[in-house]
C-alpha cells in the first residue's frame, strides 16, 4: 500500500483555545504518528447558542500564539492553523468542511478528524450523520468523564467502524480510532467566567494565551451573553511552523 502523509484536523470554537485542546492534539499526533495537525476554528458552530464571545480575529490569533508556543517547547510538534471555516458563510458544519477538503484533493492524504470522546458521544446529532463519518478517519481522544469504554457502550451502532491503532494502516475505509489519553478537565466556559472576574488562568491555558486574554481584555463583559457576530477582517492563508 502506498504511503500517504497523515494529517490531523482539530476543529472547534476555540473560545479560547486551552490546555485540553493542546493535550488532545498531542495525544493524537503521538498515537497516530501524524505528520501535521491543523487547527480549524469554526465561525458559527451549530451546536452552540449565540455567537462565540471572542471575535474571529482574536480566536484565530490565539491559536497562532498557542501553535507557536508549542513549537518552541517541542521541536517534534508540527501544527498549522487554517481559516477555512471562518471564510465560509453560514453555519460551520463539519460535513461541509470535509466535503470542501475532498474537493481540494484530500485523497492524497490520510486524514484523521480529532475530537474529544465527550463531543463524539453526540455524533448522531450532527448534520449529515452518518455520512460525515464516510469522509475521513475519526480520532477520538478520551476525556475526563467520558472514557473509550463508555463511548463503546453509548454507540453500539458504530462497533463495526471502530479500529485499533494497528488496523489503520491496513484499512481502506474510514474508521473510528479510540485513543486512550489523560487529558486535563478544562472548560472554555469556565475560562471565560474566570477571565470575566479577572481570575488567574494558570494551568488552564498556555501562559502566552493567558497574557493575550489579559492584554486584550477578552471576556471581561458578561462571558456567555448572546452577541451579534463580530468582524473578522481579511482572510488568511493557512500558516504553520
Distance CA 28, CA 115 (A): 9
As given in the structure block, the three cell numbers for residue 52 are: 462565540
Q: Calculate the CA 196 to chain-centre distance.
A: 24
b/e per residue, 46-67, with b = 16+ CB within 10 A? eeeeebbbbbbbbbbbbbbbbb
Distance CA 224, CA 230 (A): 15
Rounded mean pLDDT of the chain?
A: 86
3-state secondary structure of 216: coil
Distance CA 56, CA 42 (A): 9
- DSSP annotation of 199: -
What share of the chain has pLDDT > 70, as a percent? 86
Class of domain 6-187: alpha beta
Query: Is the pLDDT assigned to residue 53 strictly greater than 70?
Result: yes
- Give the pLDDT confidence of 83-99 residue by residue, as tens digits: 999 998 888 999 999 98
Distance CA 156, CA 160 (A): 9
Flag whether the pTM goes above 0.85: yes
- Give the pLDDT confidence of 142-182 residue by residue, as tens digits: 999 998 899 999 999 999 998 877 777 667 789 999 999 99
Q: Is there a cis peptide before residue 218, judged by omega within 30 degrees of 0?
A: no
Amino acid at each position: 500500500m502506498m504511503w500517504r502523509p497523515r494529517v490531523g484536523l482539530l476543529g472547534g470554537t476555540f473560545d479560547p483555545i486551552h490546555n485540553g485542546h493542546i493535550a488532545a492534539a498531542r495525544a493524537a499526533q503521538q498515537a497516530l504518528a501524524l505528520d501535521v495537525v491543523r487547527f480549524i476554528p469554526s465561525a458559527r458552530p451549530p451546536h452552540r447558542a449565540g455567537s462565540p464571545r471572542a471575535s474571529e480575529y482574536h480566536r484565530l490569533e490565539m491559536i497562532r500564539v498557542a501553535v507557536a508556543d508549542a513549537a518552541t517547547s517541542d521541536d517534534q510538534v508540527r501544527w498549522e492553523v487554517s481559516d477555512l471555516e471562518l471564510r465560509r458563510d453560514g453555519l460551520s458544519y463539519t460535513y461541509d468542511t470535509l466535503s470542501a477538503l475532498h474537493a481540494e484533493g484530500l485523497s492524497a492524504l490520510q486524514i484523521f478528524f480529532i475530537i474529544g470522546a465527550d463531543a463524539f458521544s453526540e455524533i448522531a446529532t450532527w448534520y449529515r450523520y452518518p455520512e460525515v463519518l464516510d469522509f475521513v478517519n475519526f480520532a477520538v481522544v478520551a476525556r475526563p468523564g467520558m472514557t473509550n469504554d463508555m463511548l463503546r457502550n453509548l454507540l453500539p451502532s458504530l462497533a463495526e467502524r471502530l479500529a485499533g491503532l494497528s488496523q489503520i494502516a491496513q484499512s481502506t475505509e474510514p474508521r473510528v480510532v479510540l485513543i486512550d489519553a489523560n487529558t486535563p478537565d478544562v472548560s472554555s466556559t469556565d475560562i471565560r467566567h474566570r477571565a470575566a472576574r479577572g481570575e488567574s488562568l494558570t494551568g488552564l491555558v498556555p501562559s502566552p494565551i493567558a497574557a493575550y486574554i489579559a492584554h486584550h481584555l477578552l471576556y471581561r463583559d458578561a462571558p456567555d451573553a448572546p452577541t451579534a457576530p463580530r468582524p473578522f477582517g481579511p482572510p488568511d492563508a493557512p500558516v504553520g511552523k
